[in-house]
Structure 1
Amino acid sequence: MLHVKKSTKLPILAGVLLIIAVVLSACSSQGNVAQTSPTAGQAANSTVQKEEASTTPTTREYTDSQKRKVTIPVNPQRIVYVGSDPGDLLALGVRPAGASLSVIQSQIVYADLTKDITDVGYPVNLEKVTMLKPDLILHDNWDEKAIDTLAKIAPTVALHSDQATFERMQELGKLLGKTKEADQFKTLYDEKAKQMKAKLDVDIKPGETATVLLVMGKNLYVMGHQGASVSLYDVLGFKPAPKVQTDLIDKKERFATISNEVLPAFIGDELFILSDQSKETVAVTNNLMNSEIWKTIPAVQNKRVYTLDSSWNFDDAITRERLLEQIPDLMKQK
């Protein structure tokens, strides 16, 4: 039986700060031209700078994904991120003061980049957030009540969490004044993907289909256009299995729980299975692979099954980039 989930996560127009530095130089005395004393020049310079500083805006208004108009700092210095994709910020060169790491830190492939970031927990620990004295809070937009509570601590922006990875990156770039960095990251990613495909010793035929399954604990999920499947479809060129296309992607469902009984209908020419090493997940995966239904799947019979760790199913920019390095070895599995 197929149970379709709402489009949620598994398990930011940024104004450009213009600083005008005006330097007033003392004029040298030439002919009948009067010479301005250094003291007078310095005083004039100081006055102009103070006037300009007083007229340079320090905040601006931003409309978030909930259509809320939020007054945010032009140049935020202490960001707290509540969500599952802190890798997007890190890819832009932004290190949040705090982030929700307790659930994902042992699962993500970039834990090495989060060691100096304070974990604010999930559900978010309001006391920890308050102690960090944030000037901006970014929220994944899956808990409206939490957003309202966090907004009492600091300006809180609800992000467009349902956007694709690089759409989120562009929005974050606008929100944080990092549009250049967002563009550069995407350009570099595209070049790495091109180089990877050129070296890939795999012949992917036009129309060849693929399905991504995720085993988490006792649950089995089929992935739509989300997580690792994005790299398989958009980078490698696989097509989604027909039923994945119609039942998930066309309906903008990012994933769905699935039973063993209907599993074969969702499997394409190639099958990719993501799982972790928890006892429950291992047991469920082994039971699946030893079942009679499993043996009827053509991809299994043709030895077209590939396995990888579920950490590669995160949808942030860092994971997407690092997955490019793993794909060649992944495709060598048989």
Structure 2
Amino acid sequence: MLKRKSLLIISALILMLSVLVSACGGANNATNSKTSTNTPAETEAPAPTEAPVAEYRSFDTTKGAVQIPVKPLRIVTDYYGGELLSVGANVVGVEPSAFDNPFIAEQLKDAADVGAPINVEKVLELKPDLIVVMYDESYESLSKIAPTLYLPYGTASDIYESVRLFGDIVGDKEKAEQFITAYDQKAKEGRERLKGIVDENTTVGIFELTDKGEIWMFGENSGRSGQAVYNALGLKIPDSIKKQVDANGGFFQLSKEALPEYAADYMFMTVYDPEKKGEAIKQLTDLAVWKGLDAVKNNQYFENDFDTFYRYDPLAISGQVDLIVDMLIARADENKK
């Protein structure tokens, strides 16, 4: 009887021990399951990657200081497409005539036409982080979309000031200096190519004829290839022209009868004729006063495409250097025959 009681006690102890072991195992399994679930509150999960916060800096304008991105990524402009592209900016929107600029058209193939005057709704759709405008009609509305810089015409006086200004704006002064170095080298090579072709005392006049028959003359820094002709290639501006352009802000209008007073050995004429009628240029070239000009008689008159030579952004000026040199060399070869 005692033996049987002992067996019962031992069996009970074994049963209790089994229950305890099972309970401990269940607790361990629960702990392991909890660890593998890795809920955020119970584990040290890595911090989520955050989008970088854009850095801003102050930029002084005629409208006061503006906080602009240190490195703008999406820029909308009206008339500064070429200036921005010359320093590697991402131009996502620009005024319509920029697409006719042969020097930047390819770089603008993915950009949007924002209208002229600039259309605020179109700009809003482009989500720019910087806007740069020459005209300020919609400045207040644009400023509500993104930091907006108003840079009126004439803010930069030449290609060097322009490139450095926009290199500063886009946060890449080094690229601006690289552009200038390349431009100076191109100008030097152009001058070398013209040695023996154009004498250093030879004069060059830059003219424009409008579809209304108006004649304008331009100096060193007013577009129509002036910077390429006079500054980069060092060709000479007649004293009579220089006096007038300096006194009238870089360009002036003259009558057809006054053409001989502003004659030059070479004449470059851009023709503004948007409807391609050809009437104004025919009326001019039929005049006796025109036919009597030395540049015309000596076959040293050049009629130039408006879209190509009207432009004065850095990329256009750089391209015009090559075009002018090629034109002068080709004409000299032609005149030798």
Query: Which range, TM-score by smaller chain?
Result: 0.7 to 0.9
Map residues 17-96 of structure 1 onto 2, 5 A cutoff: 58-64=55-61, 66-83=62-79, 85-96=80-91
Q: How many residues align?
A: 281
Query: Matched residues in 1 for 2:54 and 2:109: separation?
Result: 34
2:309 partner letter? W
Deviations 1:162-213 (A, max 9, x none): 1212211101111211100000011011112222332336433333321111
Gaps of 5+ in 1: 1-42
Percent identity (aligned): 28
Query: Matched residues in 1 for 2:90 and 2:271: separation?
Result: 29
Where 1:103 maps in the other structure, the secondary structure is helix
Where 2:243 maps in the other structure, the secondary structure is helix
Deviations 1:91-122 (A, max 9, x none): 2111211111x234224433122110011011
Deviations 1:231-266 (A, max 9, x none): 111122222122221111x23623233321222222
Q: Higher Cα Rg: structure 1 or 2? A: 2
Q: RMSD across aligned C-alpha pairs, in angstroms?
A: 2.7
Query: Matched residues in 2 for 1:280 and 1:259: separation?
Result: 23
Query: Matched residues in 1 for 2:98 and 2:277: separation?
Result: 17
1:272: Cα distance to partner? 0.9
Determine if contact 2:81/2:98 at 8 Å carries over to the other structure: no
TM-score scaled by length of structure 2: 0.75
Going from structure 1 to structure 2, the CA distance change for 1:229 and 1:146 (only over 3 Å counts) comes to: same
Aligned to 1:190: 184
* Higher fraction of helix: 2
2:295 partner letter? A
Going from structure 1 to structure 2, the CA distance change for 1:80 and 1:322 (only over 3 Å counts) comes to: same
1:307: Cα distance to partner? 2.5
Aligned to 2:29: none
**Structure 1: which 4+ aligned runs deviate by more than 6 Å?**
none
Going from structure 1 to structure 2, the CA distance change for 1:93 and 1:104 (only over 3 Å counts) comes to: closer
Query: Matched residues in 2 for 1:92 and 1:128: separation?
Result: 24
Query: Matched residues in 1 for 2:277 and 2:173: separation?
Result: 40
Aligned to 1:265: 261
Deviations 1:278-333 (A, max 9, x none): 45562211211111110232322333212221222311111112223222331022
Map residues 256-295 of structure 1 onto 2, 5 A cutoff: 256-275=252-271, 278-280=274-276, 282-295=278-291
2:66 partner letter? V
Where 2:304 maps in the other structure, the secondary structure is strand
1:155 partner letter? P
1:57: Cα distance to partner? 7.4
Highest RCO, 1 vs 2 (Cα 8 Å, sep ≥ 6): 1
Counterpart selection for 1:312 from 299, 305, 309? 309
Map residues 230-241 of structure 1 onto 2, 5 A cutoff: 230-241=227-238
Gaps of 5+ in 2: 1-43
Q: Which moved more, 1:252-261 or 1:108-117?
A: 252-261
